């Protein structure tokens, strides 16, 4: 029997032992598996950089959740990446305090330096630029994150230095 859809549709991959270990740890905090759906997606993203269809299906399988429901969660949250991103995700705050202190100019500076707009990734896969709502450091605006680190009181010069450091690491 031919089944064209099934042969081309993405299939669940196997979760890695590290992913399974971390998901199992999260499960100990909740009475129901569904509650760790988002945590599991974040775990996969931590190891793989983003959440592919194959990863999403794997998590759904593992937690015995309907894939559509998990996809509904994945697409609801700003910080779950359903497309590949660069090695360094730049989250530039564009909320009101940072706006008042010139984040639009900083965005233009980054775009000029790296040649990417919001939502884009550099050709060398080193950087993805994404706007982020208020990072809760408004007294030190303008602010952005690269990966897990928050950087405050930004100027074009400090941004250049941060980008240089990422490029030097490769």
Interface residues toward another protein, by CB under 8 A: 29-32, 34-39, 41-42, 72-73, 76-80, 91, 94-97, 99-102, 104-105, 132-141, 145, 148-150
Residue 1 or residue 139: which is nearer to another protein going by CB? Answer: 139
Q: Considering the complex, what minimum distance in angstroms separates the CB of residue 126 from another protein? A: 21
Residue 120 or residue 131: which is nearer to another protein going by CB? Answer: 131
Residue 79 or residue 165: which is nearer to another protein going by CB? Answer: 79
Q: Considering the complex, what minimum distance in angstroms separates the CB of residue 97 from another protein? A: 4
Question: Does residue 114 contact residue 120 with C-beta atoms inside 8 Å?
Answer: no
**Which helix (H) or strand (E) is 127 found in, with range?**
strand 127-132
Residue 10 or residue 133: which is nearer to another protein going by CB? Answer: 133
Two tokens at 30?
Answer: 């909740």
Residue 29 or residue 169: which is nearer to another protein going by CB? Answer: 29
CA 118, distance to chain mean position in Å, is: 13
Handedness of CA 153, 155, 161, 163 (dihedral sign): positive
Q: Considering the complex, what minimum distance in angstroms separates the CB of residue 4 from another protein? A: 32
- The CA distances from residue 148 to 66, 101, 134, in Å, are 31, 23, 15
Query: Which of 99-127 are b and which e, b meaning 16 or more Cβ less than 10 Å from the residue's Cβ?
Result: eebbbeebbebbeeebebeeeebbeeebb
Q: Considering the complex, what minimum distance in angstroms separates the CB of residue 34 from another protein? A: 4
Q: Considering the complex, what minimum distance in angstroms separates the CB of residue 12 from another protein? A: 19
């Amino acid at each position: 029997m031919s089944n064209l859809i099934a042969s081309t549709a993405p299939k669940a991959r196997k979760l890695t032992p590290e992913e399974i270990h971390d998901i199992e740890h999260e499960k100990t905090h909740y009475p129901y598996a569904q509650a760790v759906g988002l945590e599991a997606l974040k775990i996969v993203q931590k190891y793989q950089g983003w959440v592919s269809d194959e990863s999403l299906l794997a998590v759904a399988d593992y937690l015995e959740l309907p894939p559509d429901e998990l996809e509904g969660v994945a697409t609801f949250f700003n910080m779950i990446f359903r497309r590949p991103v660069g090695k360094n995700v730049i989250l530039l705050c564009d909320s009101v305090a940072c706006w008042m202190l010139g984040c639009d100019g900083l965005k233009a500076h980054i775009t000029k330096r790296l040649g990417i707009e919001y939502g884009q990734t550099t050709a060398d896969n080193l950087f993805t630029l994404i706007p982020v709502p208020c990072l809760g450091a408004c007294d030190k605006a303008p602010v952005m994150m690269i990966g897990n680190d928050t950087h405050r009181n930004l100027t074009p010069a400090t941004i250049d230095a941060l980008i240089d450091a990422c490029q030097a690491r490769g």
